[in-house]
Structure 1
Amino acid sequence: MDNTSIPWWMRIRTHVLLFGLAMSIFPLFILSNLSFNTVKQYMLNSIWEQNFEGVSVLADEVQEVFKNIENNLSYISVANGDALLGDDENKRQLVFKTLLDQEPFVEEIRVADKNLTVLDKIPWGNTAESDLFIPSHQSIFLSKVIFAETGDPKMYVTTAIPDPNTGERIGYFQVKIDLNSIIDNFTGHRLSKEGNLYFIDKSGNLIGHTEYSRVLDREDFRGNPAVQNFLEGNEYSQGTEYKNSEGTNVIGWFAKVGNPDWGVFIEQTTREAYQPIYSFTLKLLIIAILIMIIGSLLSIIFGLKLVQPLENLEGQVKKIISTGDIQEEIPIESWDEIGRLVQSFNQLLFLLDETNENLKNEKELLRIVVDGIGAGMVLLDEERNIVWWNSIFARWFGDKLTDLPWKLSLEKDRVFTVNVNGEHRHMRQILYELTPDKSNNAAYLLLLEDVTQQTEMEARMIESDKMATVGLLASGVAHEINNPLAIVAAHSEDLLDRLKEEDQSLEQDEIKAGLNIVLEQVIRCKQIISRLLGLARKSHDNDYVDIGQSSAQVLELLKHRAKQKNIKIVSQIDAGLFVLGNESEWQQVVLNIVTNALDASNAGGTLEVAAGRDDNNNEEIHFSVHDYGQGIPEKYLKKLFVPFFTTKPVGQGTGLGLFISYSIVQKMQGKLFIDSTEGKGTIVDITLPSYKVGA
């Protein structure tokens, strides 16, 4: 594969360049972003704090104006009470003129006695005397904002005139203030080019605005979030971002005046408020781009310088691959890290050459070993397809591996019969699971071993042991047959004697009864012989076996032997206990185990035989034989399944019974356990998989 066939995104040159660009851009981006956020937050806080400080100062200044008005009225009402309520009109007019000169915001003055009767006012007009509102518990009072017919906001300030001697109220002094002239002093100068300054009273009325026409139009500002905040009783707002009634994004601040109960509001468009931040962002972006360009250029230059030696190394390696000469060395151009990499690669080539030679030798040795063990080997993938086989497997089954003469199975251990080159051979299959790195690798190793001689030998051994056991039973069977034969002989002799004597009393019914007895005893003899022949016959086929019924037949054959030793056999065998196996072989297992138990039991003892399904696992069947005899010494327990080992005297046992029984149980996919205590007896327990009838 040359450079032209490698996609650009997979080339190391691209990786180095991208890494250099990334290391130039990302750290700078992170630092710039961190610096920008820090400065932005600082500038935001500065802008918001500055405007909040401005609106707070305005609120204090408005409150100071009204405080001065209240102080002047209070001073005049105390110092000039007699002149205001006296009969001298000139003195009263002089007081009015003095107040008008001091307070340019006052546009109307009235004086009333304690009964609220107006004594004098400036100017004289049609103002209703009912506007003179005097609370009973305050010495000075600010009225609510009222609007004239022109839309201008007005307010009344009323103070009580006290008696110099008693301090009681003897009259009232009231002025009407033009709020526009007061508020205009504050709204006349803007805090920003695009900002607005306005005043809202506690009722939500607009009483002052940078654009006074909006006051005259009685514009409703109650939907403004900042105004809602104020009307809900909040004292101030350090900044709230929202859309105003024109749909412009603004930031609003407000502060409560206190007395009067107004709110001073400042609104500034976000565009103007954040203009310093936008300017800072633009400058920072320009600087960052310049730094990124410089860093990228440097990364490209140094990246190309780094990649060039690597590309030279790649070319040398391709040359070695094309020629196949791994003994050739790559020239070292420099003694930096890349030069040391080339040196290490040369050493690797040398080791690779040695390893290649060793692998060839080991491969040949492995072939000799695999062929020498005499077993067929097959590798299978996950789909059970053959991916490799050795020469022995090919010699057995030829090259037609897709049409094997036996069914390919994933059983871990099984023995089956197959036709090999015209001969019936017994094969043992052993399966090993592998752990492939990839799905197309081998997943299983199948090992086939020719066990024909071993299988035939085991079969002959089982048959020999069976015949030896049958021989031991022959005497007992003879005794069993002798009894019914004696009965047959007696009845036959009696009938013959009576027929010879021509006994006239002999009836046909008596003859039939005698012959029936003879027939019953003959059938009994036939059954005994049939059981013995059934045990002795050869059987090679596996089928579903009712081990309860088969075991009961064996126990019938052993009755006479148990009777001879005065041993009672107690059996508790459930019905319908089906297993998969050979009935004759299973009867041999029962015969071997029960015979051993009878030999180990003492005269007058009891032998317990039980068979049934496991209560905890209904898919298992347990068959157990429990004797209370002499038991097995602990030192012999490990040798019980060794061929030809026996604890019986010479001539009384072959030592093959338990070994053969164990082999048969294993073939039936079962387990055999022996638990024995010397002097207390032995328990033999067999566990077999259960099957349903007709399964």
Structure 2
Amino acid sequence: MKENSIPWWMRIKVHFLLFGIAMSILPLFFLGYLGFTSVRQNLQMDIYEQNFDQVSVLAREIQDAIATIENSLTFTKTTTVQALTGSDEASRQLILETLLQKEPSLKELKVYDANFRSIAQINRQASAPPNSSTNAPEPILSSERLSPISDLYFSQEGQPEIRLTVTIQDPMDGKFLGHLQGTIELTTMINRYFNFHLDEGKYVFLVDRSGTLIGQTDSDLHFHEEDLRQAPAVQSFMAGELFSTGSEYKNYAGVNVIGAFASMDTLNWGVFIEQPAHEANKPIFELALRLIMIAVLIMVLVMIISISFGLKVVHPIENLESQVRRIIQTGDLESHIPIESWDEIGRLVKSFNQLLNSLDQKNENLKNEKELLTTVVDGVGAGMVLLDSERKILWWNAKFAQWFGQQFAHLPCEQVIAGQGTEGILLENGRTISVFLHEERRHFRQMYYELSPDNPENAAYLLLLDDVTQEVEMEARMIETDKMAAIGLLASGVAHEINNPLAVVAAYSEDLLERLDEEDSGPSQEEIKLGFDTVLEQIVRCKQITDGLLGFARKRDSGSDLIDLGIASAQTLGLLEHKAKQKHLHIQFHSENSLFVLGNENEWQQVVLNLVTNALDASSEGKAIDVRGYREGNTIQFIIQDYGEGIPQDHLKKALDPFFTTKSPGQGTGLGLYVSYGIIVKMHGEMALESTEGQGTKVKISLPFHEAGEQSS
């Protein structure tokens, strides 16, 4: 793809075209859908109503036809009734022939007297013998079996028929004279009413409650009478429903049809009408086709308008694009784009020219700020390094290059620093590391900062290395000064502790020498051995005292090791026994086993010495000092509590400041708490002071427990 070309689907003119088409199609589609749905529903309702009206009319007409025949068979004149049941055969025959001519649906007439005996019979087919036209048994009339309308049956020709029986009574006195029974040929009667114009595909049929087909306009129904019974509408009628205004279902041939039915109350029959759904929905399909044609015409018109409007709008935009590309290629921010019109696009060009002026000014400012930032970064006293997610070096400043060299791009930071003799690097904020640079030990405090991932260099961390060599050396000298001061305070007590065993040694030595000079009775071998054992025991005691003092005073490496707080604290408290005895104080020490921490044992002993010494100085005679060490989860708690004078609240805030002391001149340097706090922070712990004036002071130290020491033990 060329640099100045864009895909066709991203062009504004295409967007205008698509927008125009979408804005024409979507509303049209929505409105057309609503209108089509409404019209479709109305048309379907009209189809349902038309079908139901037709079957309702047919049902009423068939019922009316049966009622008309029943009325024709009922005589109201006395002479006619007497002639029909009298002995005059000619008169009776004339009346029956007249009835057959009047009602074309009547196939046969029979007259019964009051005793239910047949006295006359006439058939429309004069040559046919009586009852030869029906396969139904000869009806036997009686008072128990009398019914106005008989059940449906079929003749030998397969035509459906029913018998209609009416009572013959004298109109004058209501005397019962007999019955007149007529056989109705249903096919003839029904065809008179089914022969009306039906829409395309429509057919009508008549069934009784058992589903038996009585009449139809579709001759194929004769061959599918059993399938006809399975139709949902027929099933509903057989289940007792009286009518259905319309529904869609599959007919006997599996074709979707729209059907309706109405029942006849007197005959218990149902008239059904069905029409294939595709024939019934033809008006709906024609409407949909017209709507689609209108939509296509509108879409074409809108497309033409959209293309014309898009070309008119896009031309100045394309011109603006070409001018912008020229500026990008040349980098000339001082050039301007000519304004061709004063419409929105013209104002856009004007705003773009103003933007060019602003960018030119900001570009100059950025250059100046970059030069200033470069000067600051290169001149700052700290080393700065950008690292990726794998802690490989991406960028460094001049100070870092001055310390570690120049060529280490994409190298792991640990490897670069370790190549200069690093003793150990822990990736923790605030951790001070020791490095040999140019045959000289240097101390750096490292700080890591996570960066947002969307920076151009893909840097994940910013590492700052601050040279704290002077600060670390000053702290070491301060700790050493505090240690020497503590040793000076311990000197008198240690000398007294040594003096006691030396006095015992001198006494035993003098006694043995005097007894050896005696001539009469010198010391026995056992007495000499006992004396030397005592002397040796006291000498060992002196050695332990001096070893403890020398171990505390010895200058050790500043590195960190695993130490057991209980053992180290017990050794330190032994140096303070004499001072506690002098003030008649009792130090109560309780510590759990295996309290391992990472730190410097000599520095920890200095912390214990400083804090317990302060407690001894603040306590009056006869009091006790509690020293406890125990584990609490992953933390070790070390508590030193006295019950002395306490610290006033105004002094408590200054207690950790260097050179702050409330002791008399010569009694303290004011560095004890300050140095102790610094050592605890160096061990990644916390130290808190709680004091109530007149009740005593509690120093609570929390240090992280080191599990490796517990496993090794």
What is the TM-score with the length of structure 2 in the denominator? Answer: 0.89
The reply on whether 1:316 has 2:323 as its aligned counterpart is yes
Q: Distance in 2 between matches of 1:79 and 1:353?
A: 129
The reply on whether 1:453 has 2:467 as its aligned counterpart is no
Q: Distance in 1 between matches of 2:82 and 2:598?
A: 134
Name 2:601's counterpart in structure 1: 583
Q: Distance in 2 between matches of 1:579 and 1:133?
A: 123
Q: CA deviation at 1:218?
A: 4.5
5 Å-filtered alignment, 1:3-152, equals: 4-73=4-73, 86-112=86-112, 116-123=116-123, 124-125=130-131, 131-132=139-140, 136=144, 141-152=148-159
Match of 1:662 among 677, 692, 713: 677
State the identity as a percent: 53
Match of 1:305 among 309, 312, 326: 312
Q: Distance in 1 between matches of 2:59 and 2:448?
A: 95
Cα gap change, 1:98/1:220 in structure 2, threshold over 3 Å: closer, same or farther? farther
Cα gap change, 1:96/1:602 in structure 2, threshold over 3 Å: closer, same or farther? farther
Name 2:647's counterpart in structure 1: 632
The reply on whether 1:684 has 2:676 as its aligned counterpart is no
Cα gap change, 1:657/1:50 in structure 2, threshold over 3 Å: closer, same or farther? farther
The reply on whether 1:623 has 2:638 as its aligned counterpart is yes
Q: CA deviation at 1:642?
A: 1.9
Match of 2:280 among 257, 262, 273: 273
Root-mean-square deviation (CA), in Å?
2.9
The reply on whether 1:521 has 2:528 as its aligned counterpart is no
Residue 265 of structure 1 aligns with an amino acid whose one-letter code is F
Q: CA deviation at 1:439?
A: 8.3
- The CA deviation string for residues 33-52 of structure 1, in whole angstroms up to 9 with x for no partner, is 33322322222222222222
Residue 426 of structure 1 aligns with an amino acid whose one-letter code is H
Cα gap change, 1:75/1:170 in structure 2, threshold over 3 Å: closer, same or farther? closer
Match of 1:337 among 344, 362, 366: 344
Is the 1:140–1:160 contact (alpha carbons within 8 Å) kept by the matching residues of 2? no
The reply on whether 1:566 has 2:577 as its aligned counterpart is no
Q: Distance in 1 between matches of 2:533 and 2:80?
A: 161
Q: Distance in 2 between matches of 1:196 and 1:300?
A: 55
Is the 1:152–1:216 contact (alpha carbons within 8 Å) kept by the matching residues of 2? no
- The CA deviation string for residues 374-403 of structure 1, in whole angstroms up to 9 with x for no partner, is 111111222322222111111111123224
Is the 1:431–1:447 contact (alpha carbons within 8 Å) kept by the matching residues of 2? yes
Name 1:366's counterpart in structure 2: 373
Name 2:656's counterpart in structure 1: 641
Q: Distance in 1 between matches of 2:649 and 2:92?
A: 138
Q: Distance in 1 between matches of 2:153 and 2:86?
A: 31
Residue 306 of structure 1 aligns with an amino acid whose one-letter code is V
SS at structure 1 position matched to 2:342: coil
Residue 107 of structure 2 aligns with an amino acid whose one-letter code is E
Is the 2:227–2:252 contact (alpha carbons within 8 Å) kept by the matching residues of 1? no
Is the 1:190–1:196 contact (alpha carbons within 8 Å) kept by the matching residues of 2? no
Cα gap change, 1:422/1:506 in structure 2, threshold over 3 Å: closer, same or farther? closer
Q: Distance in 1 between matches of 2:107 and 2:572?
A: 136
Q: Distance in 1 between matches of 2:499 and 2:181?
A: 152
SS at structure 2 position matched to 1:255: strand
What is the TM-score with the length of structure 1 in the denominator? Answer: 0.91
Residue 434 of structure 2 aligns with an amino acid whose one-letter code is T
Name 2:402's counterpart in structure 1: 395
Higher mean Cα deviation, 540-549 or 425-434? 540-549
Name 2:126's counterpart in structure 1: none
Q: Distance in 2 between matches of 1:198 and 1:578?
A: 104
Is the 2:586–2:625 contact (alpha carbons within 8 Å) kept by the matching residues of 1? yes
Query: What 5-or-longer segments of structure 1 have no aligned partner?
Result: none
Q: Distance in 2 between matches of 1:217 and 1:390?
A: 99
Q: Distance in 2 between matches of 1:533 and 1:78?
A: 160
Cα gap change, 1:334/1:398 in structure 2, threshold over 3 Å: closer, same or farther? same
The reply on whether 1:478 has 2:495 as its aligned counterpart is yes
Matched positions, count: 691
5 Å-filtered alignment, 1:426-465, equals: 426-437=443-454, 441-465=458-482
Higher mean Cα deviation, 75-84 or 44-53? 75-84
Higher mean Cα deviation, 465-474 or 163-172? 163-172
Query: What 5-or-longer segments of structure 2 have no aligned partner?
Result: 124-129, 419-423
Q: Distance in 1 between matches of 2:470 and 2:278?
A: 101
Name 2:421's counterpart in structure 1: none
Higher mean Cα deviation, 119-128 or 540-549? 119-128
- The CA deviation string for residues 539-578 of structure 1, in whole angstroms up to 9 with x for no partner, is 3221222112222222222233223223332333111111
Higher mean Cα deviation, 432-441 or 310-319? 432-441
Cα gap change, 1:430/1:156 in structure 2, threshold over 3 Å: closer, same or farther? same
Name 1:600's counterpart in structure 2: 618
The reply on whether 1:417 has 2:402 as its aligned counterpart is no
The reply on whether 1:189 has 2:232 as its aligned counterpart is no
Name 2:295's counterpart in structure 1: 288
Q: CA deviation at 1:613?
A: 1.9
Q: Distance in 2 between matches of 1:135 and 1:371?
A: 131
Cα gap change, 1:89/1:417 in structure 2, threshold over 3 Å: closer, same or farther? same
Residue 41 of structure 1 aligns with an amino acid whose one-letter code is Q
- The CA deviation string for residues 163-210 of structure 1, in whole angstroms up to 9 with x for no partner, is 879979775443322221222233323531211111221101121211
SS at structure 2 position matched to 1:308: helix
